[in-house]
């Protein structure tokens, strides 16, 4: 069986973890996207089973990718990943 792969910026948009692909691209370029523990560029490819971390401001989202779909409706998007944790980082200087 062939494992489906997809660019991480597209996955973030299709799965609706982020609203726009450009936002996903910018977050990766700025170093806020980790795949299996490593910072990645927008062109990095993901597949089912990968671990994904997004640093969005003070939020740190940890997810496991469950499936890859080229397109997903709003109802299907949530089944593409499993949210492992959503934590708030402490503000610096407090």
Express each pLDDT in 57-84 by its tens digit: 999 999 999 999 999 999 999 999 999 9
DSSP 19: S
Residue 27 lies in a domain: yes
Residue 55 lies in a domain: yes
Domain that holds residue 44: 6-88
Residue 94 lies in a domain: no
Would you state the pLDDT for residue 35? Answer: 98
Residue 93 lies in a domain: no
The domain that holds 23 is classified in CATH as: 3.10.290.10
Residue 45 lies in a domain: yes
Residue 16 lies in a domain: yes
Residue 43 lies in a domain: yes
Residue 1 lies in a domain: no
Tens of pLDDT, residue by residue over 19-61, are: 999 999 999 999 999 999 999 999 999 999 999 999 999 999 9
User: How many domains does the chain divide into?
Assistant: 1
Distances in Å between the Cα of 72 and the Cα atoms of 8, 18, 77, 81 are 15, 13, 5, 12
Contacts of 90 (CB under 8 A, 6+ apart): none
Q: Over the chain, what is the mean pLDDT?
A: 93
**How many angstroms separate the CA atoms of 93 and 90, rounded?**
9
């Amino acid at each position: 069986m062939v494992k489906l792969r997809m660019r991480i910026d597209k996955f973030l948009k299709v799965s609706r973890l982020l609203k726009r692909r450009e936002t996903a691209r910018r977050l990766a370029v700025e170093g806020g996207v980790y795949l299996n523990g490593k910072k990645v560029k927008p062109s990095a490819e993901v597949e089912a089973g990968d671990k994904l971390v997004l640093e969005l401001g003070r939020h740190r989202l940890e997810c496991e990718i469950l499936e890859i779909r080229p397109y997903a409706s709003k109802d299907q998007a949530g089944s593409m990943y499993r949210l492992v944790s959503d934590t708030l980082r402490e503000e610096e200087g407090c």
